[in-house]
A and B are shown apart, each in its own frame.
Chain A
Amino acid sequence: MYNIPGSGSSPQPAPVAEGESVEAVRKARTVAEVMAQSQAGDVLDELDRELVGLAPVKARIRDIAALLVIDRLRMNQGLQAQTPSLHMSFTGNPGTGKTTVALRMAQILHRLGYIRKGHLVAVTRDDLVGQYVGHTAPKTREVLKKAMGGVLFIDEAYYLYRPDNERDYGQEAIEILLQVMENNRDDLVVILAGYGDRMETFFQSNPGMRSRIAHHLEFPDFTEGELLRIAEMMLEQQNYRFAPGARDVFQEYIAHRLRQPQFANARSVRNALDRARLRQASRLFANPDKELTVDDLSTIESPDIRASRVFDLGTASAQKT
Protein backbone atom coordinates (compact mmCIF):
# COMPACT_ATOMS: atom_id res chain seq x y z
CA MET A 1 0.00 0.00 0.00
CA TYR A 2 1.29 3.44 -0.70
CA ASN A 3 0.46 7.05 -0.12
CA ILE A 4 -0.89 9.07 -2.95
CA PRO A 5 0.91 12.34 -3.48
CA GLY A 6 -1.43 15.24 -2.98
CA SER A 7 -4.01 13.20 -1.11
CA GLY A 8 -2.94 14.71 2.19
CA SER A 9 -2.14 18.26 1.24
CA SER A 10 -5.01 19.09 -1.09
CA PRO A 11 -7.66 21.17 0.62
CA GLN A 12 -10.38 18.78 1.71
CA PRO A 13 -13.92 20.06 2.09
CA ALA A 14 -14.97 20.32 5.71
CA PRO A 15 -16.17 16.95 6.98
CA VAL A 16 -19.90 16.73 7.53
CA ALA A 17 -21.34 15.69 10.84
CA GLU A 18 -21.99 12.15 9.73
CA GLY A 19 -25.15 10.85 11.36
CA GLU A 20 -26.96 14.16 10.95
CA SER A 21 -26.38 14.60 7.23
CA VAL A 22 -27.21 10.99 6.42
CA GLU A 23 -30.47 11.37 8.30
CA ALA A 24 -31.29 14.57 6.39
CA VAL A 25 -30.52 12.92 3.08
CA ARG A 26 -33.04 10.20 3.92
CA LYS A 27 -35.82 12.75 4.22
CA ALA A 28 -35.02 14.66 1.03
CA ARG A 29 -37.62 14.85 -1.77
CA THR A 30 -35.88 16.89 -4.50
CA VAL A 31 -32.60 16.55 -6.33
CA ALA A 32 -31.48 19.90 -4.97
CA GLU A 33 -32.12 18.79 -1.41
CA VAL A 34 -30.08 15.65 -1.78
CA MET A 35 -27.27 17.57 -3.45
CA ALA A 36 -27.31 20.30 -0.82
CA GLN A 37 -27.43 17.97 2.13
CA SER A 38 -24.90 15.49 0.86
CA GLN A 39 -22.59 18.26 -0.39
CA ALA A 40 -21.84 16.06 -3.37
CA GLY A 41 -22.32 19.12 -5.56
CA ASP A 42 -19.33 20.79 -3.93
CA VAL A 43 -17.11 17.85 -4.76
CA LEU A 44 -18.37 17.81 -8.34
CA ASP A 45 -17.69 21.54 -8.72
CA GLU A 46 -14.29 21.08 -7.19
CA LEU A 47 -13.64 18.29 -9.64
CA ASP A 48 -14.50 20.67 -12.47
CA ARG A 49 -12.35 23.44 -11.06
CA GLU A 50 -9.27 21.57 -10.00
CA LEU A 51 -8.98 18.97 -12.69
CA VAL A 52 -8.06 20.31 -16.10
CA GLY A 53 -9.51 18.63 -19.19
CA LEU A 54 -10.81 15.06 -18.82
CA ALA A 55 -14.23 16.07 -20.21
CA PRO A 56 -15.50 12.52 -20.91
CA VAL A 57 -14.46 11.37 -17.44
CA LYS A 58 -16.20 14.28 -15.74
CA ALA A 59 -19.35 13.68 -17.78
CA ARG A 60 -19.40 10.06 -16.71
CA ILE A 61 -18.91 10.94 -13.06
CA ARG A 62 -21.82 13.36 -13.28
CA ASP A 63 -23.97 10.59 -14.75
CA ILE A 64 -23.08 8.27 -11.92
CA ALA A 65 -23.75 10.97 -9.34
CA ALA A 66 -27.12 11.68 -10.97
CA LEU A 67 -28.09 8.02 -10.83
CA LEU A 68 -27.16 7.80 -7.18
CA VAL A 69 -29.15 10.93 -6.33
CA ILE A 70 -32.25 9.66 -8.13
CA ASP A 71 -31.87 6.26 -6.47
CA ARG A 72 -31.71 7.98 -3.12
CA LEU A 73 -34.95 9.85 -3.92
CA ARG A 74 -36.62 6.63 -5.07
CA MET A 75 -35.61 4.97 -1.85
CA ASN A 76 -37.02 7.88 0.18
CA GLN A 77 -40.37 7.41 -1.59
CA GLY A 78 -40.32 3.73 -0.81
CA LEU A 79 -39.63 2.59 -4.37
CA GLN A 80 -37.32 -0.29 -5.17
CA ALA A 81 -33.80 0.98 -5.62
CA GLN A 82 -31.39 -1.82 -6.21
CA THR A 83 -27.92 -0.75 -5.19
CA PRO A 84 -26.19 -0.32 -8.53
CA SER A 85 -22.89 -2.02 -9.15
CA LEU A 86 -20.29 0.71 -9.08
CA HIS A 87 -17.10 -1.18 -9.73
CA MET A 88 -15.10 0.75 -12.29
CA SER A 89 -12.10 0.47 -14.52
CA PHE A 90 -9.95 3.47 -15.31
CA THR A 91 -7.82 3.15 -18.41
CA GLY A 92 -5.45 5.71 -19.77
CA ASN A 93 -1.85 6.61 -20.34
CA PRO A 94 0.50 7.37 -17.46
CA GLY A 95 -0.12 10.68 -15.71
CA THR A 96 -3.67 11.23 -16.96
CA GLY A 97 -5.12 11.55 -13.46
CA LYS A 98 -6.49 8.08 -12.76
CA THR A 99 -5.41 8.04 -9.12
CA THR A 100 -6.52 11.63 -8.51
CA VAL A 101 -9.95 10.96 -9.93
CA ALA A 102 -10.25 7.75 -7.88
CA LEU A 103 -9.62 9.79 -4.76
CA ARG A 104 -12.38 12.23 -5.73
CA MET A 105 -14.66 9.36 -6.63
CA ALA A 106 -14.33 8.01 -3.10
CA GLN A 107 -15.35 11.42 -1.73
CA ILE A 108 -18.35 11.74 -4.04
CA LEU A 109 -19.62 8.24 -3.31
CA HIS A 110 -19.23 8.88 0.39
CA ARG A 111 -21.14 12.16 0.19
CA LEU A 112 -23.98 10.45 -1.63
CA GLY A 113 -24.09 7.82 1.07
CA TYR A 114 -23.15 5.00 -1.24
CA ILE A 115 -20.07 4.00 0.72
CA ARG A 116 -19.90 4.40 4.46
CA LYS A 117 -16.40 5.71 5.10
CA GLY A 118 -15.06 7.21 1.89
CA HIS A 119 -11.42 6.26 2.31
CA LEU A 120 -9.29 5.03 -0.56
CA VAL A 121 -7.00 2.04 -0.23
CA ALA A 122 -4.51 1.99 -3.08
CA VAL A 123 -2.81 -1.32 -3.75
CA THR A 124 -0.75 -3.01 -6.43
CA ARG A 125 -0.13 -6.67 -7.21
CA ASP A 126 2.37 -7.02 -4.35
CA ASP A 127 -0.27 -6.20 -1.74
CA LEU A 128 -2.71 -8.81 -3.02
CA VAL A 129 -0.64 -11.72 -4.26
CA GLY A 130 1.40 -13.87 -1.91
CA GLN A 131 4.73 -15.55 -2.45
CA TYR A 132 3.91 -19.14 -1.63
CA VAL A 133 0.96 -21.53 -1.60
CA GLY A 134 -1.70 -20.44 0.88
CA HIS A 135 -0.31 -16.97 1.30
CA THR A 136 -2.47 -15.21 -1.28
CA ALA A 137 -5.96 -15.74 0.12
CA PRO A 138 -5.35 -14.27 3.59
CA LYS A 139 -3.35 -11.43 2.08
CA THR A 140 -6.06 -10.50 -0.39
CA ARG A 141 -8.76 -10.86 2.27
CA GLU A 142 -6.88 -8.56 4.61
CA VAL A 143 -6.61 -5.85 1.98
CA LEU A 144 -10.29 -6.26 1.12
CA LYS A 145 -11.26 -5.95 4.76
CA LYS A 146 -9.24 -2.77 5.08
CA ALA A 147 -10.92 -1.33 2.00
CA MET A 148 -14.46 -2.11 3.15
CA GLY A 149 -16.60 0.95 3.58
CA GLY A 150 -14.44 2.72 1.02
CA VAL A 151 -12.83 2.33 -2.36
CA LEU A 152 -10.23 -0.27 -3.27
CA PHE A 153 -8.00 1.13 -5.98
CA ILE A 154 -5.92 -1.51 -7.75
CA ASP A 155 -3.21 0.20 -9.72
CA GLU A 156 -1.78 -1.59 -12.75
CA ALA A 157 -4.41 -4.28 -12.30
CA TYR A 158 -3.27 -6.22 -15.39
CA TYR A 159 -0.24 -7.45 -13.43
CA LEU A 160 -2.62 -9.59 -11.38
CA TYR A 161 -2.93 -11.95 -14.29
CA ARG A 162 0.22 -13.48 -15.73
CA PRO A 163 -0.73 -15.64 -18.69
CA ASP A 164 2.83 -16.98 -19.13
CA ASN A 165 2.81 -18.69 -15.72
CA GLU A 166 -0.17 -20.94 -15.14
CA ARG A 167 0.77 -21.56 -11.51
CA ASP A 168 0.87 -17.88 -10.76
CA TYR A 169 -1.00 -16.98 -7.57
CA GLY A 170 -2.53 -13.92 -9.22
CA GLN A 171 -5.46 -16.01 -10.43
CA GLU A 172 -6.32 -16.87 -6.84
CA ALA A 173 -6.38 -13.19 -5.89
CA ILE A 174 -8.64 -12.44 -8.86
CA GLU A 175 -11.09 -15.16 -7.81
CA ILE A 176 -11.36 -13.84 -4.25
CA LEU A 177 -11.72 -10.34 -5.61
CA LEU A 178 -14.55 -11.40 -7.92
CA GLN A 179 -16.33 -13.16 -5.09
CA VAL A 180 -16.18 -10.14 -2.79
CA MET A 181 -17.09 -7.74 -5.62
CA GLU A 182 -20.24 -9.79 -6.15
CA ASN A 183 -21.25 -10.55 -2.55
CA ASN A 184 -20.22 -7.37 -0.76
CA ARG A 185 -21.39 -4.83 -3.30
CA ASP A 186 -22.76 -2.62 -0.53
CA ASP A 187 -19.50 -2.64 1.36
CA LEU A 188 -16.90 -1.62 -1.14
CA VAL A 189 -16.26 -0.26 -4.60
CA VAL A 190 -13.37 -1.67 -6.59
CA ILE A 191 -11.58 0.49 -9.14
CA LEU A 192 -9.12 -1.17 -11.48
CA ALA A 193 -6.65 1.12 -13.17
CA GLY A 194 -4.07 0.60 -15.85
CA TYR A 195 -2.87 1.41 -19.31
CA GLY A 196 -5.48 0.93 -22.03
CA ASP A 197 -4.09 -1.85 -24.20
CA ARG A 198 -2.89 -4.01 -21.33
CA MET A 199 -6.18 -3.70 -19.47
CA GLU A 200 -7.91 -4.85 -22.66
CA THR A 201 -5.91 -8.11 -22.68
CA PHE A 202 -6.51 -8.46 -18.95
CA PHE A 203 -10.28 -8.24 -19.41
CA GLN A 204 -10.18 -10.60 -22.36
CA SER A 205 -8.54 -13.30 -20.27
CA ASN A 206 -10.86 -12.61 -17.30
CA PRO A 207 -14.35 -12.28 -18.76
CA GLY A 208 -15.87 -12.59 -15.29
CA MET A 209 -14.05 -9.44 -14.30
CA ARG A 210 -15.30 -7.45 -17.27
CA SER A 211 -18.93 -8.37 -16.71
CA ARG A 212 -18.75 -7.37 -13.06
CA ILE A 213 -17.44 -3.93 -13.85
CA ALA A 214 -20.21 -1.60 -14.87
CA HIS A 215 -18.24 1.51 -15.70
CA HIS A 216 -15.29 1.64 -18.03
CA LEU A 217 -13.81 5.12 -18.00
CA GLU A 218 -11.19 6.08 -20.50
CA PHE A 219 -8.81 8.89 -19.63
CA PRO A 220 -7.73 10.89 -22.69
CA ASP A 221 -4.24 12.38 -23.01
CA PHE A 222 -3.90 16.04 -22.13
CA THR A 223 -3.42 18.65 -24.85
CA GLU A 224 -0.55 21.15 -24.73
CA GLY A 225 -2.81 23.92 -23.45
CA GLU A 226 -4.19 21.71 -20.70
CA LEU A 227 -0.69 20.68 -19.63
CA LEU A 228 0.30 24.33 -19.35
CA ARG A 229 -2.72 25.08 -17.18
CA ILE A 230 -1.88 22.05 -15.04
CA ALA A 231 1.67 23.40 -14.63
CA GLU A 232 0.37 26.79 -13.53
CA MET A 233 -1.99 25.21 -11.02
CA MET A 234 0.79 23.06 -9.62
CA LEU A 235 3.05 26.08 -9.19
CA GLU A 236 0.28 28.06 -7.59
CA GLN A 237 -0.31 25.31 -5.05
CA GLN A 238 3.35 25.46 -4.04
CA ASN A 239 3.42 29.28 -3.95
CA TYR A 240 5.54 29.64 -7.04
CA ARG A 241 4.83 31.46 -10.29
CA PHE A 242 6.32 31.88 -13.74
CA ALA A 243 8.26 35.03 -14.58
CA PRO A 244 6.70 36.91 -17.55
CA GLY A 245 8.80 35.16 -20.22
CA ALA A 246 9.00 31.83 -18.46
CA ARG A 247 5.45 30.78 -19.27
CA ASP A 248 6.16 30.84 -23.01
CA VAL A 249 9.40 28.95 -22.51
CA PHE A 250 7.55 26.29 -20.58
CA GLN A 251 4.99 26.04 -23.35
CA GLU A 252 7.84 25.46 -25.75
CA TYR A 253 9.24 22.88 -23.33
CA ILE A 254 5.96 20.98 -23.31
CA ALA A 255 5.83 21.00 -27.09
CA HIS A 256 9.34 19.47 -27.22
CA ARG A 257 8.69 17.00 -24.42
CA LEU A 258 5.45 15.76 -26.03
CA ARG A 259 7.33 14.46 -28.99
CA GLN A 260 9.86 12.54 -26.92
CA PRO A 261 9.39 8.97 -25.76
CA GLN A 262 8.10 8.10 -22.30
CA PHE A 263 6.02 11.18 -21.94
CA ALA A 264 3.85 10.77 -18.85
CA ASN A 265 1.43 13.71 -19.16
CA ALA A 266 0.85 15.53 -15.87
CA ARG A 267 3.53 13.49 -14.12
CA SER A 268 6.17 14.67 -16.60
CA VAL A 269 5.01 18.23 -16.04
CA ARG A 270 5.38 17.81 -12.31
CA ASN A 271 8.88 16.39 -12.69
CA ALA A 272 9.86 19.22 -15.03
CA LEU A 273 8.64 21.77 -12.50
CA ASP A 274 10.54 20.03 -9.71
CA ARG A 275 13.73 20.26 -11.75
CA ALA A 276 13.05 23.90 -12.53
CA ARG A 277 12.70 24.54 -8.81
CA LEU A 278 16.06 22.86 -8.25
CA ARG A 279 17.69 25.13 -10.81
CA GLN A 280 16.00 28.18 -9.35
CA ALA A 281 17.35 27.22 -5.95
CA SER A 282 20.93 26.84 -7.15
CA ARG A 283 20.64 30.10 -9.09
CA LEU A 284 19.69 31.90 -5.89
CA PHE A 285 22.28 29.93 -3.94
CA ALA A 286 25.07 31.20 -6.20
CA ASN A 287 24.61 34.74 -4.82
CA PRO A 288 25.15 34.30 -1.08
CA ASP A 289 25.16 38.01 -0.24
CA LYS A 290 22.04 39.05 -2.09
CA GLU A 291 19.02 39.87 0.01
CA LEU A 292 16.17 37.70 -1.30
CA THR A 293 12.66 39.07 -1.50
CA VAL A 294 9.43 37.09 -1.62
CA ASP A 295 9.38 37.73 -5.34
CA ASP A 296 12.86 36.30 -5.85
CA LEU A 297 11.98 33.22 -3.85
CA SER A 298 8.76 32.45 -5.64
CA THR A 299 9.59 33.24 -9.27
CA ILE A 300 10.71 30.66 -11.81
CA GLU A 301 12.71 32.53 -14.48
CA SER A 302 12.98 31.40 -18.08
CA PRO A 303 16.66 30.29 -17.76
CA ASP A 304 15.54 27.84 -15.04
CA ILE A 305 13.45 26.08 -17.65
CA ARG A 306 15.66 26.81 -20.63
CA ALA A 307 18.52 24.82 -19.05
CA SER A 308 16.57 21.60 -19.50
CA ARG A 309 18.07 18.81 -21.56
CA VAL A 310 14.80 18.51 -23.46
CA PHE A 311 15.64 21.64 -25.46
CA ASP A 312 19.02 20.23 -26.58
CA LEU A 313 17.40 17.01 -27.70
CA GLY A 314 14.66 18.97 -29.42
CA THR A 315 17.03 21.12 -31.45
CA ALA A 316 19.31 18.16 -32.18
CA SER A 317 16.50 16.16 -33.70
CA ALA A 318 15.32 19.26 -35.58
CA GLN A 319 18.78 19.68 -37.11
CA LYS A 320 18.91 16.02 -38.11
CA THR A 321 15.68 16.19 -40.07
Chain B
Amino acid sequence: MMTNPTGRLTQGQFSFLPDLTDAEITLQIEYGLRQGYAWAVEYTDDPHPRNTYWEMFGMPMFDLADVAGVMLELKSCRSTFPQHYIRLVAFDSTRGVETIAMSFIVNRPSVEPGFSLVRQETNGRTIRYTIRGHEADRPEGERYRK
Protein backbone atom coordinates (compact mmCIF):
# COMPACT_ATOMS: atom_id res chain seq x y z
CA MET B 1 0.00 0.00 0.00
CA MET B 2 2.83 2.39 -0.77
CA THR B 3 0.67 4.64 -2.95
CA ASN B 4 -2.10 5.01 -0.38
CA PRO B 5 -0.49 4.57 3.05
CA THR B 6 -3.30 6.10 5.13
CA GLY B 7 -6.15 4.82 3.03
CA ARG B 8 -7.48 8.34 2.78
CA LEU B 9 -7.04 11.46 0.74
CA THR B 10 -4.73 14.02 2.29
CA GLN B 11 -5.45 17.43 0.85
CA GLY B 12 -5.95 20.76 2.56
CA GLN B 13 -5.95 21.44 6.28
CA PHE B 14 -6.50 18.80 8.97
CA SER B 15 -6.40 15.97 6.42
CA PHE B 16 -3.95 13.88 8.45
CA LEU B 17 -6.24 14.10 11.48
CA PRO B 18 -9.33 12.00 12.06
CA ASP B 19 -12.39 13.48 10.35
CA LEU B 20 -13.62 16.65 12.03
CA THR B 21 -16.92 16.40 13.86
CA ASP B 22 -19.67 18.90 13.07
CA ALA B 23 -18.87 20.75 16.29
CA GLU B 24 -15.24 21.08 15.24
CA ILE B 25 -16.22 22.17 11.75
CA THR B 26 -18.47 24.80 13.35
CA LEU B 27 -15.54 26.18 15.32
CA GLN B 28 -13.39 26.41 12.19
CA ILE B 29 -16.14 28.22 10.29
CA GLU B 30 -16.63 30.55 13.22
CA TYR B 31 -12.92 31.40 13.14
CA GLY B 32 -13.07 32.09 9.40
CA LEU B 33 -16.10 34.34 9.76
CA ARG B 34 -14.31 36.30 12.47
CA GLN B 35 -11.45 36.84 10.01
CA GLY B 36 -13.95 38.14 7.48
CA TYR B 37 -13.64 35.22 5.05
CA ALA B 38 -16.44 34.16 2.72
CA TRP B 39 -17.15 30.43 2.94
CA ALA B 40 -18.14 28.19 0.08
CA VAL B 41 -18.93 24.49 -0.23
CA GLU B 42 -17.24 22.52 -3.01
CA TYR B 43 -17.59 18.90 -4.08
CA THR B 44 -15.98 16.54 -6.55
CA ASP B 45 -15.56 12.87 -7.38
CA ASP B 46 -12.23 13.43 -9.08
CA PRO B 47 -9.86 14.25 -6.23
CA HIS B 48 -6.66 14.19 -8.33
CA PRO B 49 -4.15 16.51 -6.64
CA ARG B 50 -3.93 18.61 -9.79
CA ASN B 51 -7.71 19.06 -9.90
CA THR B 52 -7.61 22.40 -8.14
CA TYR B 53 -11.08 23.64 -8.98
CA TRP B 54 -13.89 21.52 -7.57
CA GLU B 55 -17.53 22.19 -8.34
CA MET B 56 -19.06 24.82 -6.10
CA PHE B 57 -22.29 23.85 -4.38
CA GLY B 58 -24.57 26.86 -4.55
CA MET B 59 -23.04 30.29 -4.35
CA PRO B 60 -20.13 31.57 -2.27
CA MET B 61 -21.49 32.92 0.98
CA PHE B 62 -20.48 36.52 1.45
CA ASP B 63 -21.71 38.75 4.29
CA LEU B 64 -22.63 35.93 6.62
CA ALA B 65 -22.71 36.69 10.33
CA ASP B 66 -23.29 33.24 11.73
CA VAL B 67 -22.15 29.64 11.27
CA ALA B 68 -25.68 28.30 10.87
CA GLY B 69 -25.89 29.48 7.25
CA VAL B 70 -22.74 27.61 6.21
CA MET B 71 -23.75 24.48 8.10
CA LEU B 72 -27.15 24.58 6.40
CA GLU B 73 -25.49 24.62 3.00
CA LEU B 74 -23.03 21.88 4.02
CA LYS B 75 -25.86 19.63 5.22
CA SER B 76 -27.77 20.02 1.99
CA CYS B 77 -24.60 19.29 -0.01
CA ARG B 78 -23.95 16.16 2.06
CA SER B 79 -27.45 14.88 1.46
CA THR B 80 -27.12 15.57 -2.28
CA PHE B 81 -23.63 14.05 -2.66
CA PRO B 82 -23.10 11.58 0.20
CA GLN B 83 -20.40 9.64 -1.70
CA HIS B 84 -18.44 12.65 -2.97
CA TYR B 85 -15.52 14.52 -1.54
CA ILE B 86 -16.82 17.77 -0.06
CA ARG B 87 -14.61 20.55 1.20
CA LEU B 88 -15.16 23.95 2.74
CA VAL B 89 -13.10 26.81 1.37
CA ALA B 90 -12.73 30.26 2.87
CA PHE B 91 -12.03 33.14 0.54
CA ASP B 92 -10.08 36.11 1.85
CA SER B 93 -11.12 39.16 -0.13
CA THR B 94 -8.52 41.52 1.33
CA ARG B 95 -7.09 43.58 -1.49
CA GLY B 96 -3.80 42.10 -2.61
CA VAL B 97 -4.64 38.74 -1.02
CA GLU B 98 -7.85 37.73 -2.80
CA THR B 99 -7.36 34.02 -2.49
CA ILE B 100 -8.38 30.94 -0.58
CA ALA B 101 -7.22 31.20 3.01
CA MET B 102 -8.60 27.96 4.43
CA SER B 103 -9.68 24.71 2.85
CA PHE B 104 -10.50 21.37 4.43
CA ILE B 105 -12.34 18.19 3.56
CA VAL B 106 -15.59 17.64 5.44
CA ASN B 107 -17.02 14.62 3.64
CA ARG B 108 -15.42 11.53 2.10
CA PRO B 109 -16.68 8.51 0.22
CA SER B 110 -16.95 5.41 2.40
CA VAL B 111 -14.08 3.69 0.57
CA GLU B 112 -11.07 5.58 -0.76
CA PRO B 113 -9.01 3.36 -3.09
CA GLY B 114 -6.51 6.13 -3.74
CA PHE B 115 -4.21 6.50 -6.75
CA SER B 116 -2.04 4.27 -8.84
CA LEU B 117 1.36 5.16 -10.23
CA VAL B 118 1.57 4.82 -14.02
CA ARG B 119 5.05 4.40 -15.56
CA GLN B 120 5.50 5.42 -19.15
CA GLU B 121 8.66 4.18 -20.89
CA THR B 122 10.03 6.70 -23.37
CA ASN B 123 13.28 7.20 -25.30
CA GLY B 124 16.28 5.43 -23.93
CA ARG B 125 15.86 4.34 -20.37
CA THR B 126 13.71 7.38 -19.40
CA ILE B 127 10.56 6.66 -17.46
CA ARG B 128 7.81 9.24 -16.99
CA TYR B 129 5.61 8.88 -13.97
CA THR B 130 2.03 9.93 -13.56
CA ILE B 131 -0.60 9.20 -10.94
CA ARG B 132 -4.12 8.17 -11.71
CA GLY B 133 -7.08 7.73 -9.40
CA HIS B 134 -8.42 4.18 -9.32
CA GLU B 135 -11.93 5.50 -9.53
CA ALA B 136 -11.13 7.83 -12.43
CA ASP B 137 -11.76 5.05 -14.95
CA ARG B 138 -15.46 5.30 -14.43
CA PRO B 139 -17.47 8.23 -15.75
CA GLU B 140 -18.21 11.24 -13.60
CA GLY B 141 -21.06 10.73 -11.16
CA GLU B 142 -20.57 6.93 -11.09
CA ARG B 143 -17.38 6.90 -9.05
CA TYR B 144 -17.12 5.89 -5.41
CA ARG B 145 -20.35 3.90 -5.47
CA LYS B 146 -20.75 1.65 -2.46
Contact = CB atoms under 8 A, between A and B. Distances in A.
B32 to A, nearest CB: 14
A117 B59 CA distance: 22
Nearest to B61: A145
B68 A148 contact: yes
A256 interface: no
Interface string B31-71: 00000000000000000000000000011010111111110
A146 B63 contact: yes
Nearest to B30: A116
Interface in A36-74: none
A184 B65 contact: no
Interface in B53-91: 58-59, 61, 63-70, 72-73
Contacts, number: 42
A146 B69 contact: yes
Nearest to B66: A149
Interface residues of B, number: 13
A142 interface: yes
Select the residue from A138, A144, A146, A184 with max chain B CB neighbours within 10 A: A146
A148 B59 contact: no
A148 B66 contact: yes
A187 interface: yes
13 contacts: A116-B68, A138-B58, A144-B69, A145-B61, A145-B69, A146-B64, A146-B65, A148-B68, A148-B72, A149-B65, A149-B68, A149-B69, A184-B68
Interface of B: 58-59, 61, 63-70, 72-73
The 3 closest A-B pairs by CB, nearest first: A149-B66, A145-B69, A187-B68
Given A145-B61, A148-B72, 10 more contacts: A116-B66, A117-B66, A142-B61, A145-B68, A145-B72, A148-B64, A148-B65, A148-B67, A187-B66, A188-B68
